[in-house]
A = this chain, B = another copy of it.
Amino acid sequence: MSQPPAPDKRRAILDAAITVFARQGFHSARVSDVAAEAGVAYGLVYHYFDSKDQMLNELFSERWALLVEASQEVRSSDAPPRDKLAGVANFIIESYRHEPELMKVIIVEVTRAANSFGRTHLPEIRQAYDLVAEIVSDAQKAGEFRDDVDPNFAAMVFYGAIEQLLTGWIFESIPGADDDYERAKRLVIETICDGLEPRPVSDAVAG
């Protein structure tokens, strides 16, 4: 079944962890479940990892780094700000489409779990938020976005919207057919960007 060279059980355990954490949630997933899913003895998990937590940490950091990297690239491109934000939204949503289990774990167990793992990874998470804030800030300086909006607040709104959409798909609260993803991308970009673009329109609306 497997060749002599390197069965790479470590990777198998990590993959099993994705499946199990996605299925049962990190908290109610036992280490023995992960071992069973990987077809490996209980103790081997501790040969490769220091703790149950470390597995999740590694899954998260590995993937989140890609997001940060992609965001950095997007930011330093010379596309218009709307397209930059679209690029970030696109990356996140496509990540989910290609690896829904991993993204489920990351969103549900880390990003949205502000009390447990979210705390631990706050600096990394913040890094991604900050990049969006910087994209907004850049656009403001160039006069392409209105400048009476705090970029950090805009970033929160942006990420909050996307995360909620992902959560909706993860728990099947909203339909997730192919064109739903595309429509969702457009919706986020249009709503957020239209609100951020300079407004020649009236200013006195609210009471």
Contact = CB atoms under 8 A, between A and B. Distances in A.
Interface string A164-182: 1101101101100000100
Interface stretch (A5-13, A46-54, A65-73, A189-197): A189-197
A25 B117 CA distance: 12
Nearest to A118: B171
B25 A207 contact: no
A145 to B, nearest CB: 11
Contacts of A149: 187
B152 A174 contact: yes
A186 B161 CA distance: 16
A173 B83 CA distance: 26
A114 B171 contact: yes
Interface string A103-140: 00000110011111001001000100100000000000
A205 interface: yes
A34 interface: no
Most buried by B among A108, A122, A168: A168
A98 interface: no
A154 to B, nearest CB: 7
Contacts of A207: 83
Interface of A: 25, 27, 82-83, 86, 108-109, 112-116, 119, 122, 126, 129, 149-150, 152-154, 156-157, 159-165, 167-168, 170-171, 173-174, 180, 183-184, 186-196, 199, 205-207
19 contacts: A25-B116, A82-B205, A83-B206, A83-B207, A109-B115, A112-B112, A112-B113, A112-B114, A152-B173, A152-B174, A156-B164, A156-B173, A157-B165, A160-B160, A164-B164, A191-B192, A191-B196, A192-B195, A194-B199
